[in-house]
Amino acid sequence: MITPAGKTFYKEALLLSHQYHEMLSKIRSLTSMISDQLRIGTLPILSQYDLMPLLNKFQDDHPKIQLSVTETDDKELLDGFSCGKYDLILAREGMIDKEQYHFLPVAKDRLSVMLPDSHPL
């Protein structure tokens, strides 16, 4: 005969078992939703900063991840990022609200003016 304590234990064990299996089911459904695609939006700067070899290396190192790279202008890039079209973007620092997004510098710009020796400036 089961004691009152045994009955209580059995009820709780059934509840825990049910919750455990429910949690496993939810985890399985979440992992099936995880994308094996990385969508990158960028300004047209890939060749300027020699970033294509880095993207190619990433693709070689992670062949199961489908890499999608789209070059576009400032507005479309930010709009696409805001609506979830891109997982990450490569943009200039001044374009990004650092309070809203996490910013990681990739390269520094150094712009120069070049003039012929004969120019008056």
For residue 63, give the CATH number of its domain. 3.40.190.10
Residue 12 lies in a domain: no
Contact 77, 31 (CB under 8 A): no
User: Residue 77: what pLDDT?
Assistant: 93
Containing structural domain, residue 69: 37-95
Residue 3 lies in a domain: no
Residue 47 lies in a domain: yes
Confidence of residue 76 (pLDDT cuts 50, 70, 90): very high
Q: How many domains does the chain have?
A: 1
What share of the chain in percent tops pLDDT 90?
33
Residue 68 lies in a domain: yes
pLDDT single digits (tens) 43-75: 998 888 889 999 999 999 888 888 999 999 999
Cut 0.75: pTM above it: no
- d(CA 17, CA 79) in angstroms, rounded, equals 46
Residue 83 lies in a domain: yes
